[in-house]
Amino acid sequence: MEYLNKIVNLNMSKYRLDRTRFSAQSSKKAADHFIYYKELTWQESLRIAFYLNSIAFNYPQNEPPGMDRTKFKARSRNI
């Protein structure tokens, strides 16, 4: 478990939230956003999630980074 914590801390330390891009909002305004997003289809919600991920992790929207397959192994659950 300690090994996992080191991996997470190392990888996440290079990403920083740009606090100048966000502002506090009233609960009324937040509720309005909730109502809007609640009415979206699952496809529209997924499209928004892809867009937000591309902004957060700084990659082109239509070119998400691939998974590093050297970090994982496939194995049988039946031992």
Whole-number Å distance between alpha carbons of 67 and 47: 20
- Whether 79 maps to a domain, the answer reads no
Comparing 62 with 19, which gets the higher pLDDT? 62
- Whether 41 maps to a domain, the answer reads yes
- Whether 3 maps to a domain, the answer reads no
- Whether 29 maps to a domain, the answer reads yes
- Whether 51 maps to a domain, the answer reads yes
Contacts made by residues 70-74, CB under 8 angstroms, sequence distance 24+:
none
Put simply, whether the predicted model's pTM sits higher than 0.75 gets the answer no
- Whether 36 maps to a domain, the answer reads yes
Q: Count the Cβ atoms, other than its own, within 10 Å of residue 50.
A: 13
- Whether 46 maps to a domain, the answer reads yes
Report the domain count for the chain.
1
What residues make up the domain containing 46?
25-58
The number of CA neighbours under 13 Å toward the Cβ of 1 is: 0
CA dihedral 48, 52, 25, 15 (to 10 degrees): 170
Give the pLDDT confidence of 8-34 residue by residue, as tens digits.
444 555 656 666 766 777 777 777 778
Whether 78 has a pLDDT exceeding 50, the answer reads yes
- Whether 47 maps to a domain, the answer reads yes
Whole-number Å distance between alpha carbons of 12 and 24: 24
